[in-house]
Structure 1
Amino acid sequence: MCCWFLSEGLVVITDYVLLTPIAYTLAAKYNITNEALIGALCIPVGMGNIIGSNFAGRLSDRMLISWRKYRGGVWVPEDRLRATISGGLIFAPCSIIASGIITQYMESNTVNMIINFVCLFFNGIGVSVLFNPSNAYLVDILHSRSAEVTAANMACRNLVVALSVGFIIPSLNTFGIAATFTIAAVIAWIGFGFTVAVIRYGDRMRAFVDLGFSTLEDN
């Protein structure tokens, strides 16, 4: 369970690495000094979160139903997590790497700025595609303690972010934008590796310590 909580926290770091120093990265790159416009730079990520949330919920339900049918009616809650692969493996980490390269090395023009906004948009999608199936998975496996496990998940995720956010600006000053964003992507891949471990070995993890997990009869 701790392995799973850590996974979300490590992937969401990409969001904070993009947004926390945005006044010193994107705004500085494109000579944006107005505070309202600097705040508006966060909109692409928010739009990605909204669209990704709607898409991810339906995708995870379909993934669970299709795999249950494939298994002959056997319910395996980890099948829901297969819907997170595109977000955790591709969208979130790859978009932040692309944004770092564009921000540090490419010319400051309208076309590159739009491409950068697209990167932020896909990062928002990627994080949401990971979050929604993950939160539903926790409820799936612990129906009787869904509020507790959801709260524990959020607390662990926010703790990881809180411990990490203070290193963002120093890292930018020391290593540069592209390198810092790439480091965040690597951390996200490591975090998604925990998700892959849960998909593959989740049944054994749940059997190791019984917290009152839901069973096939409950679902």
Structure 2
Amino acid sequence: MAATTPVNDPTKLSNQDSQIAQVGLAAAPIANVNDHDVGNDDEGKGLSNYVDIEHMPVENDPRKWSDIRKNIVLLQISFGAMVAGFAGNIQMPAVGEMQQDLHTTSSQISLSLSLFILVQGGMPLLWSTISEVKGRKIVYLSSLLISTIGAVVTAIANSIELVIAFRVVQAAGSSAVMSIGAATLADIYDPHERGAKMGIFYLAPLLGPSLGAIFGGVLTSAFTWRGPFYFLTILSGVVFLSFVVFFKDTFRKERSWAYRNDGEGKPSAATSATPTLSEEPISAKSEKKQGSRDLEKGIPPKNDVGSQVFSDVKISLTDVNPLQPLKMVISRRYNFVMLIASGMLFAFAFMIVYTTSRTLERFYGYNPLKIGLVLLAYGIGGRWSDLMLTRLKSQNHGISYPEMRLKSTIHGILVFPPCVVGFGWVCQEHLHVAVICVFLFLCGFFSIAVYTSTLAYLVDANVGRSSTAIALNSAFRGTFAFVALEVAVPLQDGLGDGWTYTIVAAFMAFSGFLTILTMYKGQQWRGAEVKEKEGKEEEIEKEKENS
């Protein structure tokens, strides 16, 4: 194993790693170094030597692959992510026909939707851990095969129980591409290349929900409710075969913090929140303390590069404890608050699509195709919001700090709840469908605008832990969406759309309050937690000295 390579230009490292912070995922956690961090380095230490784990020498370096080969990988994971996005919403226009054909209830149909979202949100915690131990390809192949099996059995199912069970199977398989796709791109692209490539990748799953409704409507009208699931079977099968034939594993253990030695020959968790080297640096205690502060700020540990090497550690899934980094992320106040806010916004997106499908079928007599066309208005609103946010960021030269992300949400936070109330009462009074489309567009615009900023904040505020933060966000949003879809039918049937969405608007206002609170208090919370950690480390050092 080669020795670690120092990087002697902190400015260059900062420019590259700031891009990693923006996209949020990398092959291994690389810390973000900026002028603010340097200015606060009390002793001017911690910046002289770095472990550039992203550029550790490896065999068949994915970074040196040809552009054609890299673009094939990008196309594969983007298409796979879009199929996963399809899978969540493609069922929506078919819910009425499924209920009639399978002789089931609205509650059971809701369960088939909510469990899918719950499992698709929670499984990334497992898939990401496996990928850091066994590699990317084995995860892609197993998950896509599972997804294909789930889709085909759902398509031929003759009972709602079978549909529910294999929609869960399909959800478990479809979640992997979305959860480790960005890490795969980080394996093959250098930081300065990732911005555009990540944009393409993230566009794919965003297109899925928008196009899923229209595809679901067309296929259900042409081939009954089973059509969308046969379609998903074909798509998943094609993606699976493409990974079998064309995909070469991009994972290299030399560039993973999973394969590091803690100094005692023990490997650590794959998603470690605080990256350290394989051996303890030979340094004074004061330097240890300084290095700890640097890590919390996002600065890599200072090391005697000449003496540091990554040991060739063999680890298995039994060695991995994914709970430790999860605890590190969720225990921070700013993370917990924003995970709740983000989860509520995501839940709203699925609830509004589902209840609108029921309203259009019951009171407007719309068939699945027309339902899909109306629901497209919500997706268009969300995509327009994404374009606007990208333009605003470009005008600011792409420079930002975590809380700055949230400042762009103020107008959306204020306008969004009234739009939700308006949508509910428009549906309640059964106004012209064009009015419903307008309010769907507005709700999609403002909800996605705020949600995107909360997600970006979680990435920026968790330098070196961003992949764990994203996995946790996926779990939170899946849980919240599960609850929302479970209560949607009882609320809609019992209170009507008007009062249902008045209540929902109150939750959206609370989500906005949490976002504004973090915008003003987030930096203070982050600073307080750094000081608290330093205090605990000082106590530990004193105990060691006394013993």
- Tell me, yes or no, if the aligned pair for 1:57 and 1:132 is still in contact at 8 Å: no
Q: Decide which of 392, 397, 407 is 1:82's aligned counterpart.
A: 407
Corresponding position of 1:49? 382
SS at match of 2:409: helix
Runs (4+) off by over 4 Å = 60-65
Q: Which has the higher helix share?
A: 1
The gaps in structure 1 that reach 5 residues or longer are 69-74, 211-219
Q: Decide which of 405, 422, 426 is 1:102's aligned counterpart.
A: 426
Instruction: Compute the TM-score of the two structures, normalised by the length of structure 2.
Output: 0.34
SS at match of 2:464: helix
- Tell me, yes or no, if the aligned pair for 2:345 and 2:451 is still in contact at 8 Å: no
Q: 1:115 to 1:206 in 2, by over 3 A?
A: same
Determine what percentage of the aligned residue pairs are the same residue: 24
In angstroms, what is the RMSD of aligned CA positions? 2.2
> How do 1:15-164 residues align onto structure 2 when only pairs under 5 Å count?
15-32=349-366, 34-60=367-393, 76-91=401-416, 93-107=417-431, 112-164=432-484
Kindly state the Cα deviation for residue 86 of structure 1 after the two structures are TM-superposed.
Answer: 2.5
C-alpha offsets along residues 5-37 of structure 1, whole Å, 9 cap, x if unaligned?
Answer: 0001122333223211223213333221x1222
The gaps in structure 2 that reach 5 residues or longer are 1-334, 531-547
Corresponding position of 1:4? 338
- Tell me, yes or no, if the aligned pair for 2:402 and 2:461 is still in contact at 8 Å: yes
Kindly state the Cα deviation for residue 102 of structure 1 after the two structures are TM-superposed.
Answer: 1.2
The AA in structure 2 aligned to 1:78 is: E
> How do 1:140-219 residues align onto structure 2 when only pairs under 5 Å count?
140-210=460-530
1: CA distance, partners of 2:483 / 2:401: 34
Number of positions where the alignment pairs a residue of Structure 1 with one of Structure 2: 196
Kindly state the Cα deviation for residue 63 of structure 1 after the two structures are TM-superposed.
Answer: 6.7
Kindly state the Cα deviation for residue 153 of structure 1 after the two structures are TM-superposed.
Answer: 1.5
2: CA distance, partners of 1:204 / 1:95: 32
2: CA distance, partners of 1:87 / 1:96: 12
SS at match of 1:143: coil
Structure number with the bigger relative contact order (C-alpha 8 A, sep ≥ 6) is 1
C-alpha offsets along residues 92-140 of structure 1, whole Å, 9 cap, x if unaligned?
Answer: x222211111111254xxxx32121010011111121112222222222
1: CA distance, partners of 2:430 / 2:371: 20
C-alpha offsets along residues 74-107 of structure 1, whole Å, 9 cap, x if unaligned?
Answer: x75212201112223313x222211111111254
2: CA distance, partners of 1:200 / 1:25: 40
Kindly state the Cα deviation for residue 60 of structure 1 after the two structures are TM-superposed.
Answer: 5.0
C-alpha offsets along residues 161-216 of structure 1, whole Å, 9 cap, x if unaligned?
Answer: 11222001001111111000111111111111110110010012212334xxxxxx
**Pair member with larger Rg:** 2
- Tell me, yes or no, if the aligned pair for 1:100 and 1:182 is still in contact at 8 Å: yes
